[in-house]
Amino acid sequence: MFTVFKGYLLEKINLTDPELEQIESVSTIKKLRKRQFLLQEGDVWRYNAFVCKGFLRTYFIDNKSQEHIMNFAPENHWSGDRESLTSELPSKYNIEALEDSEILLINKPDFEMLCKTIPVLNDFVNAILQRRFVVMQERIHNNITYSAEEKYNSFISKFPSIANRIPQHMIASYLGISAETLSRVRKPSSKK
């Protein structure tokens, strides 16, 4: 499974064989069955996690015991709780596999060491952060601007590959609308 990560990296940046070996030497693989947790609320998150295969969701439970999905991570994407990772405080989130998954983990000190010794990796990691930033900003934009229907349309046009891989009610949860409302705004979109 390291080959998946290797392929991902080489597509984006140039790395020498020794560098790749160095990365591999600190990588571990965690296999998750569907519905298994990578992280549970209350635990401290200590890794950088790359999804080699499968699909993860990050969600939290509000004080009315309702689930809200914070993030999706299909293969070739990163997951984890950056907040807990930097603060080293217990996480508010659960990360659960929605499909059988294989996750590549690099713990925090090892990852920092990699970034220090491989500048091009460090730049890449920062670039990812920047991009994630823009995605979050767009999500806020949509949240404060759009109606339920517009939110849904925006989601499926932006993440078509995610949309057809997960149950609808999880899209609703991600968008902050009820599953029933989502069901209702879905059909008018087909007719004019």
User: Can you tell me which of 40, 87, 168, 189 binds DNA, judged by CB under 7 A?
Assistant: 168
Q: Nearest Cα to 151, choosing from 139, 163, 160?
A: 139
Question: In the complex, what is the shortest distance from the CB of residue 119 to its own copies, in angstroms, rounded to a whole number?
Answer: 10
164: contact with its own copies by CB under 8 A: no
**Structure tokens given for 20:** 């790749």
- DSSP conformation class of 98: S
Count, residues near DNA per rule CB under 7 A: 18
Under a CB-based contact definition with an 8 Å cutoff, are residues 76 and 51 in contact? yes
Cβ of 7: how many Cβ atoms within 10 Å? 12
Q: Which is nearer to its own copies, 30 or 77 (CB)?
A: 77
Stretch that binds its own copies, among 97-105, 136-144, 152-160, 181-189 (CB under 8 A): 136-144
Q: Give the HSE-up count for residue 130: Cα atoms under 13 Å, Cβ half-sphere.
A: 6
Please report, as residue ranges, which positions from 16 to 55 form the binding site for its own copies (by CB under 8 A): none
167: contact with DNA by CB under 7 A: yes
Give the Cα separation of 10 and 13 in Å (integer).
Answer: 5
Q: What are the residues binding its own copies (CB under 8 A)? A: 60, 62, 66, 68, 70, 82-83, 86, 126, 129-130, 132-134, 136-137, 139-141, 143-145, 173-176
